[in-house]
Amino acid sequence: MTETPTTGTNAGDLLRLEHQVCFALHNATRAFGALYRDALKDLGLTYPQYLAMLALWEHDELSVKRLGELLRLDSGTLSPLLKRLETAGLVIRERSPLDERSVLISTTAAGAALREQATRVPAEVAARTGFDLDEMRQLRGLLARLTDRLDTANGAGAAQEC
Amino acid sequence: MTETPTTGTNAGDLLRLEHQVCFALHNATRAFGALYRDALKDLGLTYPQYLAMLALWEHDELSVKRLGELLRLDSGTLSPLLKRLETAGLVIRERSPLDERSVLISTTAAGAALREQATRVPAEVAARTGFDLDEMRQLRGLLARLTDRLDTANGAGAAQEC
DNA sequence: TACTAGTGAGTTGTGCGCAATTGAATTGTG
DNA sequence: CACAATTCAATTGCGCACAACTCACTAGTA
């Protein structure tokens, strides 16, 4: 019932329409996650850990705060994640001598060496998606704009409560 | 270092490029999650619970297996989720008399009544995204194609191991 | 009829994500 | 200088996602 595949504007259709968009996003993220899980198996990394290593490979040394800004994650997620990377021998955590509140993360030799193995990951993933550069750029643009608007919407929502 | 924002094809750039695409997806999903968390606060639902209720409102009665197919989730995720919805008084779980292995999920009166409150959710979310129908359709199409390719890629990857 | 697949939910364990809180270190201000 | 406010990381608690496993039930077969 209420099978209107085109542009309807009643409440039921809106439910269905929105369901499609956010659900599609949700599914794509999880499908991507499965692909990366497979591609990262040899490296012994999960996808969020891989993102953290990417950031560290680029920046050499990062505070937990800065890393959290780059990955859009808070210490509640990063602290245990970084502890696992430290246990795996990939990173070192040390309190900053300039500001004892801050914890600086840097790669170990093993962590830096892992970058060589990681270079084949994006090519493998890109090949499996079958998307060309144009499609990826287009998708990336849409997602970036969407995230921007959602962030300001969330910010505005929070502001409304003040 | 390795700051090449255009189309490079060396390993470092690919790392960066792929980082952008999957990371953008990841971020958009989480930004969406934050928006829904806010919009669903009054209903007392999380986003995955909301998806489950959407499916149940559409289909009236579903086995856990069928619901899992619709939401692309397995019993490991659905069992505790449905137990929470049952505790909240929104759904009923009962074993099928035809096949005692199967568990049928249906909405209670309260669960069905919640649909009325839920009708305002998609409009609110759509308004906050600021995306028009064209953009949403475009994004949905890209995501659907991406998920399709990723799924077959994952399937092929699994097949390769056989 | 017994015996073996196979199927459907549930459970356990691990990791991510987020809200809320805690505690130590720093900064700002009187 | 002393005291309040802020900042940063860590911790706790909850829910989702997924892999691996268990167990009851069903179906297929000798």
Interface test with B, best of A114, A139, A151 (most B CBs within 10 A): A139
Question: Does at least one atom of strand D sit less than 7 Å from the CB of B105?
Answer: no
* B67-106 residues near strand C (Cβ < 7 Å): 68, 74-76, 78-80, 82-83, 93, 99, 101-103
What pLDDT digit, counting tens, does each position of A92-113 carry?
999 999 999 999 999 999 999 9
Closest residue of A to B28, CA-based?
Answer: A147
Report the interhelical angle of B47-59 vs B75-87 (nearest 10°).
Answer: 80
What are the φ and ψ backbone dihedral angles of B158, each rounded to 5 degrees?
A: -65, -40
- Domain assignment present for A136: no
pLDDT at B58 over 80: yes
Q: Shortest Cα distance from B82 to chain A (angstroms)?
A: 19
Between B9 and A115, where is the model more confident?
A115
**Is B2 contained in some domain?**
no
Whether the pLDDT of residue B5 is over 60: the answer is no
- Structural domain that includes position B119: 12-150
CATH at A84:
1.10.10.10
pLDDT at B12: 62
Number of domains observed in the structure of chain B: 1
- What is the H or E stretch that residue A104 is in? strand A103-107
- A4 to chain B: which residues are within 8 Å by CB? none
Residues B136, A28: C-beta atoms closer than 8 Å: no
The tens digit of pLDDT for each residue in A4-15 reads: 444 445 666 677
Residue B18's pLDDT band (boundaries 50, 70, 90)?
A: low
Inside any domain, residue A1: no
Chain A positions touching B15 (Cβ under 8 A) are 54, 57, 118-119, 121-122
pLDDT, tens digit, for every residue of A124-136?
888 888 888 888 8
Degrees (nearest 5) of the Cα angle A111, A116, A118?
Answer: 85
Longest dimension (CA), chain B: 66
Mean pLDDT (chain B) is: 87
Higher confidence at residue A88 or residue A3?
A: A88
The C-alpha atoms of residue A160 and residue B151 are separated, in whole angstroms, by 41
Q: Is A22 part of any domain?
A: yes
Residue B83 located in a structural domain: yes
- Is the residue at A55 inside a domain? yes
In angstroms, the first-to-last Cα distance of chain A is 42
DSSP string, A1-16: -----S---SHHHHHH
Supply angle C-alpha B59, B62, B68, rounded to 5: 110
- For residues B104-127, average pLDDT: 94
Q: Which of B1, B24, B143 is the closest to A140 by Cβ?
A: B24
Chain B positions in Cβ-Cβ contact with residue A24 (cut-off 8 Å): 139-140, 143-144, 147
Token digits for A4?
């209107």
Would B6 be classed as within a structural domain? no
Does A155 have pLDDT greater than 90?
no
Cβ-nearest to B146 among A28, A38, A157 = A28
Give the ipTM. 0.89
pLDDT in tens, A30-87: 999 999 999 999 999 999 999 999 999 999 899 999 999 999 999 999 999 999 999 9
Residue B10 has pLDDT above 90, yes or no: no
Please check whether strand D approaches the CB of B159 to within 7 Å. Answer: no
Residue B105 lies in a domain: yes
Query: How far is the C-alpha of A36 from the C-alpha of A47, rounded, in Å?
Result: 6
CA distance linking residue B88 with residue B100, whole number of Å: 25
CA of B97 to C1' of D28 (A): 21
